[in-house]
Structure 1
Amino acid sequence: MRELVILGTASQVPTRTRNHNGYFLRWEREGLLFDPGEGTQRQMIHAGVSASKITRICLTHVHGDHCFGLPGVLSRMVLDGVAHPVHLHYPASGGDVVRALVSLATPGLDLHLHPHGTAGPIADGIEVEPLRHRIEAFGYRVVEPDGRTFLPPLLEAAGITGPDVGLLQREGRLGPVRLEDVSVHRPGLRFGFVMDTGVCDGAFALADGADLLVAESTFSNDDAALADQYLHLTAGQAGALAGSGGAGSLVLTHFSSRYDDVGLLAAQARGTAGATTVIAASDLDHIPFPSRRG
């Protein structure tokens, strides 16, 4: 099962209807919690996300609205008796802040710290790219391995049925029949996560080919000067990011409290997103992963 659960969508200042950041990605056997801001533990209860399902926590950077909920989440995992290892990924330059936050949590969790400082893989199927913010920040990409999709008419013509189909998939060949003779390439699903950043190469790399892209949309196009000053994206820039990378769906979030109606931001993003589907996230949304393309 793959699903994105929105735990919070506010930027620096929460509102009556928007909590600080928090995003939970169900990715088959993995449960990845991104950027848990204040109140994430409570939001998890409202959203039906069990702390026991978290296997990894990924921080883009150590500004408070992206990490101050960490001690509460870790403590809840201890309270719930989580016994499996939990991996915490974060920019190396934020190590002092991360260790301070971890020290506030109830001890007893099998927690493994994984700082990173350069682009590239950080775990099986997970990669990072540098973003352009006021402190060191990285976005995340979660990738499913490419595979093959069998074509039933070709299997039938080759006389391959039942257990032999699985054998062909494992071995790559069954007698004279090769796997590629009866199947087509199936690209793996991709998830991109882009938080606080100005426009940069890393953000475009994360958006490239994403089936589902989460991107901050802190400011409207009319406030582009503020976005440039604080190194955030406008809605139009977020849309262009998704459109240029051919993303299937774009989830906008991290909204400034100055906007009561984020429909305006969604409309601006749609204006630059091309064929990408644009969703303005609300707290506690459950967003199914889009259907496989191709």
Structure 2
Amino acid sequence: MRELTILGTASQVPTRHRNHNGYQLRWDDEVLLFDPGEGTQRQMLMAGLAVTPLTRICITHFHGDHSLGLPGIIQRISLDKVPHPVRVHFPAGGRDYFDRLRHATSFYDVADLVPEPVADGFRAETTGGTLTALPLRHSIETYGYRLAERDGRRMVPALLAAYGITGPAVGELQRTGRAGTVTLDDVSAPRPGQKFAFVMDTGLCDNVFALAEGADLLVIESTFLAEDAAMAAQVGHLTAGQAASVARQSGARTVVLTHFSQRYGDSTRFLDEARTEFDGDIILAEDLMRVPLPPRLHSSHERAATPRG
């Protein structure tokens, strides 16, 4: 199962309806928690999620709305005696912040945490693909994350039938690439790997587009509206229109807008602005919302990407 659970959607200041940030991605055997802001542990309870399945925690940067929930999550990992290692990724220059949050209060520490700081060019192989991180443009060191499944092939029933491949021979093809004189390429078609991108707290820069390129699901901040574009640029944030333009230019399939400033009372304005830039699937994030990854494409030709520019 591949599904995003949204735990919080506010920016600097939470509201009555929006908690600080928090996003959990279930990707087959990997369960990744992104940017646990203050209150994430309770939001997980409300969403019916436990810490036990977590395999990775990914921090984009050490502003409080993206990391103040980390102490509670770490202490809960110890309390629940999570039996496997949990890798924690964060900007390498923020190691002091991580250490302080890691030991923010006294607790019986039995968590098997594996700190793995990220720097430009970071990549880690997971059971579901490759996790990479790229630096973004914000007021402090900030990274975005991308999880990309390796490309594969899918069996085409009509071709299997045409070559008379049935039963155990199908498994042999998948394991070895050949059954007699028939090769895997003869009876299969390319299957593009799925891609997920997570972009928070940044002004426009090349790495925003690199992270979002061809994403099946793009989670991206849209803190401001166009009327405050000058302020957004000054403090290193995106407008809803800019976020949607990134999705269009990068060929993303579904975009999740989040990280909304409390200054706007009507959140539908973010959706209206984004619609002017992107005619694909746009989701206006709400706390405790679940978003499945879009159905897998059969080939790269199905992705209607628009060139940047």
TM-score when normalising by structure 2: 0.93
Structure 1, residues 185-214: CA drift from partner, whole Å, max 9, x if none?
Answer: 000110000000000111101110000000
Q: Which amino acid aligns with 1:279?
A: I
The residue type paired with residue 79 of structure 2 is: L
1:94 aligns with 2:94: yes
Match of 1:221, as an amino acid?
A
Aligned to 2:140: 135
Contact 1:9 1:283 (C-alpha < 8 Å) held by counterparts: yes
Report the Cα distance in structure 2 between the residues aligned to 1:123 and 1:41, rounded to whole angstroms: 27
SS of residue in 2 equivalent to 1:53: coil
> In 2, are the aligned partners of 1:36 and 1:70 still within 8 Å (CA)?
yes
Residue number in structure 2 paired with 1:228: 233
Give distance in 1, aligned partners of 2:48 and 2:21: 17
Overall identity of the aligned pairs, in %: 56
Corresponding residue for 1:114? Answer: 116
1:285 aligns with 2:289: yes
Does the aligned pair in 1 maintain the 2:119–2:134 contact within 8 Å?
Answer: no
Query: Would the aligned equivalents of 2:152 and 2:192 in 1 still touch at CA under 8 Å?
Result: yes
Which one of the candidate residues 174, 183, 200 is aligned to 1:178? Answer: 183
The residue correspondences of 1:140-179 to structure 2 (distance < 5 A) are: 140-179=145-184
Runs of 4+ with >6 A deviation: none
Which shows bigger deviation, 11-20 or 141-150? 141-150
Offset of residue 221 of structure 1: 0.8
**Matched residue type, 1:292:** R
Tell me the distance in 2 between the aligned counterparts of 1:182 and 1:200. 42
1:80-126 Cα deviation digits (max 9, x unpaired): 12111000001101100001100126311000000111124134320
Distance 1:213 1:220, change over 3 A: same
Contact preservation (8 Å) 1:221, 1:236: yes
1:30 corresponds to? 30
Question: Which position in structure 2 is the counterpart of 1:237?
Answer: 242
Match of 2:208 in 1: 203
* 3-state DSSP of counterpart to 2:12: coil
Partner amino acid for 1:290?
P
How many aligned positions are there?
Answer: 293
Please state whether the residue corresponding to 1:156 is helix, strand or coil: helix
**5+ residue gaps, structure 2:** 299-309
Instruction: Report deviation, 1:134.
Output: 0.7
Whole-Å separation in 1 of the counterparts to 2:39 and 2:101: 14
Which secondary structure does the structure 2 equivalent of 1:94 belong to? Answer: helix
C-alpha contact 2:56 2:89 (8 A) present in aligned 1: yes
Q: How far, CA to CA, are the matches of 1:12 and 1:122 in structure 2?
A: 30
Contact 1:141/1:191 (CA < 8 Å) preserved in 2? Answer: yes
**SS of residue in 2 equivalent to 1:142:** strand
Task: Give the Cα separation in 1 of the matches to 2:34 and 2:121.
Answer: 18
CA distance in 2, matches of 1:34, 1:266: 23
Local SS of the residue matching 1:51: coil
SS at structure 1 position matched to 2:153:
strand
Q: 2:307 maps to which residue?
A: none
Taking only aligned residues, the RMSD between alpha carbons, in angstroms, comes to 1.0
Equivalent-residue separation in structure 2 for 1:116 and 1:151 (angstroms): 40
Instruction: Give the letter for the 1:100 counterpart.
Output: R
Partner of 1:214: 219
Q: Tell me which residue corresponds to 2:73.
A: 73
2:44 corresponds in structure 1 to: 44
For the 8 Å contact 1:216–1:238, the answer to whether it is kept is: yes
Q: Distance in 2 between matches of 1:231 and 1:82?
A: 37
Q: Extract unaligned runs of 5+ from structure 1.
A: none
Structure 1 range deviating more: 101-110 or 64-73 = 101-110
**TM-score, L = length of structure 1:** 0.98
- Which residue of 264, 269, 281 maps to 1:259? 264
What is residue 7 of structure 1 aligned with on the other side? 7
